[in-house]
Amino acid sequence: MLPAKLCKKGIRSKFYIFVTQKRKMAKDYIWDPVRKKKVLLTPEEGVRQWLIKELNSKFNYPVHMLGCEYTLKLNNIPYRGDLVVFGKKLQPLLLAECKAPEVKITTKTFDQILRYNLSLKVKYLLVTNGKETYIAKVNPCDGTHTFITNIPYYNELSE
């Protein structure tokens, strides 16, 4: 079961409002600073770009240490993590799963990122739809997780 309303119902910004208004138009593109190219602005992509902006501007995550649609394998089946944050030694530290704003975040949503983490073994898991954000710290010994109330700053990820 997910805890109620962590991170003050998600981090809201003018960018998020812009994205939700623009998504109704056909074939809009948005600049992705991680992939260094324009990408189709879908509702999920809008949330991912909002998260990248927030992590970079508020939590000091360097853009060059982020990876979008990171390929991982689970039982020889390829999956893609929406956003992966790497440490200074290029080890994955945080895995984020972004959903469209109208998608409700449930235990099933969090189960998806837990499965992905069987492959990556990151320290932090984050799920957001732009309105609600949940973050958990993973115990590396037994794989259990504990929900936390704040997104860690980049320099706190490897502690």
Q: How far is CA 92 from CA 14, 23, 121, in A?
A: 29, 30, 8
Confidence of residue 91 (pLDDT cuts 50, 70, 90): very high
Query: Is 83 in contact with 96 (CB distance < 8 Å)?
Result: yes
How far apart CA 87 and CA 92 sit, in angstroms, is 6
Render pLDDT for 103-138 as a digit per residue (tens, 0 to 9). 999 999 999 999 899 888 999 999 999 999 999 999
In this prediction, residues 22-32 reach a mean pLDDT of 74
- pTM here? 0.81
Specify the pLDDT at position 64: 97
* pLDDT confidence tier of residue 57, bands split at 50, 70 and 90: very high
Domains located in the chain, CATH noted: 6-156 (3.90.1570.30)
- Give the least confident one: 21-25, 66-70, 154-158: 21-25
